[in-house]
Structure 1
Amino acid sequence: MSRHPNLAALEALLAQVRHTDVATFLRHMMAIHPPGRLPARTAFDPLAVPALLPGLVLVHVEYRPDGAPRLFIKVAGERIRDAAPMAVMNRYVDELLLGGERRVIADTRQTVIDTGTAYYWYGAPRMKFKLDFANLEYVHCPLAEDGETIDHILSFFHYEGTA
């Protein structure tokens, strides 16, 4: 069985990350990743990484009849809910009234869908938050029940300068 490209992407990202919690998240995602396919949502047990729960976001990817994805934020950890400028949990991204900021949320995850590999960001925030912090570090990871069609994206966020 061939090695899935997302495993190589996760390994490369592990060499770049700055915060230990982001590295812990990546190591866990690598540990649950089967060699030749994407991990299923059911492979991720949040209780295996309890210290990371406040920074996790789980997005369900729903596909419209035309094949276009629609993103539904199923779970947002406490740190995310505290930082977000509005309620995000149990909402579709396209219903969030954020204008260009909505594009940041959608476009980064669209990149995951398009490439089938994890997406990483470190730098100044590209949208407004309620919290004051220096930089943002996050990673979006694809999940697929059938090992191929991305049906969830699991993310971990670290706000630099916060607990």
Structure 2
Amino acid sequence: MPLPDINAMHPQIQLALEHWRRMAPGKGLLPGRQHFDPIDVPRLLPNLWMLDVQREPLRFRCRLLGTHVQQAGAKARVGLWLDETYDAETLEKVLDFLAPLIERGEPNWRKGTPVLPHLRQVQSLEVIALPMASNGSDVDLILNVTVFSWESGWKPRVLGG
């Protein structure tokens, strides 16, 4: 989905997009993992998740899952490929969202009900997927930030607590 006006985005999503734009190493170049230092955006870390991109065939491996993403019941696990975790129908939805981002090298944004399985208490979410390329052009990593809206009165459990 095309990006909405930045002012229509959740503040966490705005922060992620602005930071991604600042990380770009030059005009027309995508930032790579080498340009991303989590210390620069500590407020994003709980909502952040990263996917390594493999081409031929196109696959995604979970590199990092923030605590809020885990609390929302994400099934993905660090180190596993998404096709090892999700069924074919779910993977097709993921591909529909991420493939254009990989082809165009442009962010993708979505707001609505979850596409991936989450806890039933997750009423909606807002996500931005930001392409990253170690060589500046070929997307090899996707930095995602997701903000969750919960059922009224429900609070996610604290991990490790």
Tell me which of 25, 28, 43 is aligned to 2:19.
Answer: 28
Corresponding residue number in structure 2 for 1:54: 46
Q: Does the aligned pair in 1 maintain the 2:76–2:82 contact within 8 Å?
A: no
| Deviation at residue 106 of structure 1 after TM alignment | 3.1
Q: Does the aligned pair in 2 maintain the 1:140–1:156 contact within 8 Å?
A: yes
Distance (whole Å) between structure 1 residues aligned to residue 125 and residue 90 of structure 2: 15
Tell me which of 106, 116, 134 is aligned to 1:145.
Answer: 134
| Deviation at residue 85 of structure 1 after TM alignment | 4.6
3-state SS of the aligned residue for 1:117? coil
Task: Give the 5 Å matches for 1:84-99.
Answer: 84-99=73-88
| Deviation at residue 13 of structure 1 after TM alignment | 5.2
- Superposed CA deviations along residues 60-84 of structure 1, whole A, max 9, x for unmatched, are 1122xxx332211111111111223
Q: Percent identity?
A: 25
TM-score, structure 1 normalization = 0.81
Distance (whole Å) between structure 1 residues aligned to residue 120 and residue 39 of structure 2: 26
Distance (whole Å) between structure 2 residues aligned to residue 145 and residue 87 of structure 1: 24
TM-score, structure 2 normalization = 0.82
Distance (whole Å) between structure 1 residues aligned to residue 74 and residue 39 of structure 2: 27
- The reply to whether residue 132 of structure 1 matches residue 124 of structure 2 is no
Corresponding residue number in structure 1 for 2:6: 14
Tell me which of 68, 86, 91 is aligned to 1:79.
Answer: 68
- Superposed CA deviations along residues 124-149 of structure 1, whole A, max 9, x for unmatched, are 22343125133210010110111111
Task: Give the 5 Å matches for 1:109-120.
Answer: 109-120=98-109
Gaps spanning 5+ residues in structure 1: where?
1-8
Number of equivalent positions: 150
The Cα RMSD (Å) is 2.1
Deviation beyond 3 Å, 4+ runs, structure 1: none
